[in-house]
Amino acid sequence: MCGIAGVYGKKAHIKTMLLTLSQLERGTLGCGIAWIKRTKIKYYKRPTHPVTVFRDIIEKLHIDTHVAISHNRLPSVGDVSLQNTHPFIACDRTFALIHNGTAFNHGLRIQLLREGHRIRGTTDSELLCHYLEDLLLTHGSFEDALLELAETKLNGAILVLAWDGTIYGIRTFSNPIHYLELDGEVYIASTEEAIMTVTENEEDIQPLKAYQLLKVKNGKVELIGEGKEEPKITYKYSVCSGYDWWRLKDWWKNL
């Protein structure tokens, strides 16, 4: 169980990390962030606690971006290492991918290595990134490629940040994605509780249906596909486990 988050809006790198710090119960054994700078994918990740990564972003990195995605890790496949920490970057650096779930893609690693993909770690999540590259070559669009990925190889939930600043999200059963549109900005997270640090109006937070594609471009949300019905499950987690709630609320107020 990992945590994924994404933001389109002012100071997106700080806001997506605040969403990450609001879901620490989903893992603290690695953290990373990807963002856009002049149509180029930039990223920073470390196999350490998300609070440490957040401090690095605030104190060391000079980031100015309107779109970012971030990840906090609870490993199910692969050890705790830099190579296994999300996000994963496409070989041609046209997108970054973060994943919550276990993909169970046996045999896919050998296929991708034979095709020349540069696989550096031992996680199944990294394989999804490189397989998506192959699907993009076949389909020519992120929309069609991600819909096929969900039907064939994906187990869990992913966010993808494309070179043009578009965020895509898609999930299978049991791995939630929630999103909020607020004042021209969009907030995405694994848990509804994480987004509740942004707004007190729970009704504004929307769940993404399984096998439905979320597309966020220029601050506008588009849903592609009808999705599939699934058993009603209520996801409740301990918000901000290991981090002070009041400190996060102060951060939001000062942005």
Paired with 223 in beta bridges are 214
Local confidence pLDDT in tens for the 255 residues of the chain:
899 999 999 999 999 999 999 999 999 999 999 999 999 999 999 999 999 999 999 999 999 999 999 999 998 888 999 999 999 999 999 999 999 998 877 788 889 989 999 999 999 999 999 999 999 999 999 999 999 999 999 999 999 999 999 999 999 998 999 999 999 999 999 999 999 999 988 999 999 999 999 999 999 999 999 999 876 655 555 555 555 555 666 666 677
pTM for this entry: 0.90
Tokens in use for 187? 């907030």
- C-alpha to C-alpha distance for 59 and 217, rounded to whole angstroms: 29
234 within 8 A of 207, measured Cβ to Cβ: no
175 within 8 A of 157, measured Cβ to Cβ: yes
- C-alpha to C-alpha distance for 7 and 67, rounded to whole angstroms: 6
- C-alpha to C-alpha distance for 195 and 192, rounded to whole angstroms: 5
Cis status of the peptide bond prior to 87, with omega within 30 of 0: yes
- DSSP assigned state of 209: P
Strand-strand pairing, 67-72 and 3-8: antiparallel
Start-to-end CA distance of the chain, whole Å, equals 29
CA 143 and chain centroid, separation: 16
Phi, psi (degrees; rounded to nearest 5) at 182 = -150, 115
Q: What residue spans of the chain are helical by DSSP H?
A: 12-21, 50-59, 108-114, 124-139, 142-152, 192-195, 245-254
- C-alpha to C-alpha distance for 132 and 46, rounded to whole angstroms: 24
65 within 8 A of 77, measured Cβ to Cβ: no
Q: What is the pLDDT of residue 93?
A: 95
